[in-house]
Structure formats: C-alpha cells, structure tokens
Amino acid sequence: MNRSGWLWAPSLAVYAFLYVPLAIVVLFSFNDSRLSAEWVGFTLDWYRKLATDDAMLAAARNSLLIALTAALIATVLGTMAGIAMHRYRIRGLTFLVLTPVAMPEILLGVSLLVFFIQVLNLTLGLVSVLVAHITFCIGFVAIIVRARLAGMDESIFEAARDLGATPWQSFRLVTLPLIMPAVTAGALMSFTLSIDDFVITFFTAGVGVSTLPLQIFTMIKVAVTPEVNAVSTLLMLVTLTLIVLASRVAPDALKGRT
C-alpha cells in the first residue's frame, strides 16, 4: 500500500479529468440560460423543448431501429464467427473479423460509401447504415464470444458427442448455454456501438436519414445550445443502463481482458 501511495493524487486527477466535463454537460442541461457560461437557475425547459423537436425524435427513432436490428444480426453473425475462429483454422477469417475493429472508422465509412453508390447503385439510407453497422459490430461480438470459448474445457463438447448428440443438439444444449453471457454482452455492446456511432454513419447515411449522433453533430456545428446538453444527458442515461446491465450478465467482458 505504502509503495503506491504517491499514485493517488495523479489518479484522482485523472478520474476528475474523466468526469468533470460530463458533469458540466449534465449540469447545464438544467440551466435556465441559453449560454453555458454561468449558472442562472434550475429549469426543465430544454427537455421540454426536446420532446417537441420533431427532427430529433425522428432521429431517435431511426437510431433505435438501426441499433436493434444491427445488434440482432451482428450478434448472430459475430457469434458464428467467434465459434468458427475458436474451433477451426480458416485462413483469413481472423483478419476479416478483426481488421474492421482496428481500422480508423473513416476508412470503413468511405469505402462503403463508394461501394454502395458505385457498385450496388443503392440510395443511401437506413439499409446502408444498417449494413455498415453490422460490419463493424461483428468483430466485437466475435472477440467476446471467442474469449469465452477459450476459457472453457473442451472435454464437455467431446462428452456431448460421445453421448450421441448431433452437432445441432450439442450446439443448442451445450455450447449455446455456456456462451450465452458472452452472446448477451456482445449484443449489448453492438447496440451501444451502433446507437453511438457517428463517423461511419456520417458517410453511409446520405441526406435522407438522420440518427441521434448525426443530429447532435449538425446542432453543435451550428451553435452550442443547452438542448444538446439535454439530449446528451438522456443518451448517457441509456448507455449507462446498458453498461450496468452488461456488467451484470457478463462481468468478464467488461474488464478489458477480452
């Protein structure tokens, strides 16, 4: 303990650095002033304004729709990829799964933009955003699922086979229940990543469709207004709930050991 005593001061400073800016955003969402410079008084006006902002509500609906669908499909594909990576040596699979996660997002965004328009002749919109989100979420799910499988005793699967289970039975009755926490964590993570994504959405959404992050970007490009603070606070609440949920279902997935 003595040895690490000096670490407390810089560590607390870093925690403060992480939390104070967000606390300011939350605080000023209740401030009765257009300017976020000084505290004037408590109000819920910015939340009321938000509730009647049609563009924002439409964006929220799109975000939710995309995040739910993307999480569902990415979880199925990512789980398959995670199992395949653990069980078989397929050349290129690991590369294909992990590279979209490690690359700067802008690269995936622009390459999909060219692909959708030039090759598929697709009008950008919900579908293109959805496909883009699934592409980068698969990797995260696969990493979590593979990590879970890597920590398990292979003999369970052999036992299932020896007892006469078909591959499907052994998957449904043995593998799936065992990896379920990782699958759930992967789904929650995909949902969060999708609903939060700005960069890839920015390039694949086109003009017709807006999501919450796109809407926030447009607003803060124009002017700083407490309405942004209000929507930010609500968004924080949503992701916070999901994180707490994820840490309940699969504590290991959140410890940075995946």
103-142 positions binding another protein, by CB under 8 A = 103-108, 110-115, 117-119, 131-132, 134-135, 138, 142
Structure tokens at 61: 């609906």
Map residue 5 onto helix, strand or coil.
Answer: helix
Which residue, among 176, 178, 212, 209, has the nearest Cα to 192 in the 3D structure? 212
CB 251 to another protein: min, Å? 7
- Binding to another protein by CB under 8 A, coded x per residue (else -) over 156-185, reads -----------x------------------
Residue 242 binds another protein (CB under 8 A)? yes
Nearer to another protein, 65 or 107 (CB): 107
Are 50 and 227 spatial neighbours (Cβ–Cβ below 8 Å)?
Answer: yes
Within 13 A of 246's CA, how many CA atoms are on the CB side? 22
* Chain residues 193-232 in contact with another protein, contact rule CB under 8 A: 196, 198-199, 203, 212-213, 216-217, 220-221, 224, 228-229, 232
Q: Is the dihedral of CA 96, 246, 58, 213 positive or negative?
A: negative
Structure tokens at 227: 């309405």
Binding another protein (rule: CB under 8 A), the pick from 102, 162, 208, 222 is 102
CB 91 to another protein: min, Å? 11
Nearer to another protein, 61 or 87 (CB): 87
Residue 91 binds another protein (CB under 8 A)? no
Number of residues counted as binding another protein (CB under 8 A): 84
Alpha helices (runs of H) in the chain, residue ranges in sequence order: 8-28, 45-51, 54-87, 93-102, 105-114, 126-150, 155-162, 167-170, 176-196, 199-204, 212-222, 226-249
Binding another protein (rule: CB under 8 A), the pick from 16, 22, 40, 159 is 22
CB 223 to another protein: min, Å? 10
Residue 256 binds another protein (CB under 8 A)? yes
Residue-level length of the chain = 258
CB 219 to another protein: min, Å? 9
CB 206 to another protein: min, Å? 11
**For 253, phi and psi rounded to 5 degrees?**
-65, -15
- Which residue has 């997935």 as its token pair? 253
Residue 72 binds another protein (CB under 8 A)? no
CB 7 to another protein: min, Å? 4
Structure tokens at 9: 């001061």
Binding another protein (rule: CB under 8 A), the pick from 40, 51, 55, 96 is 96
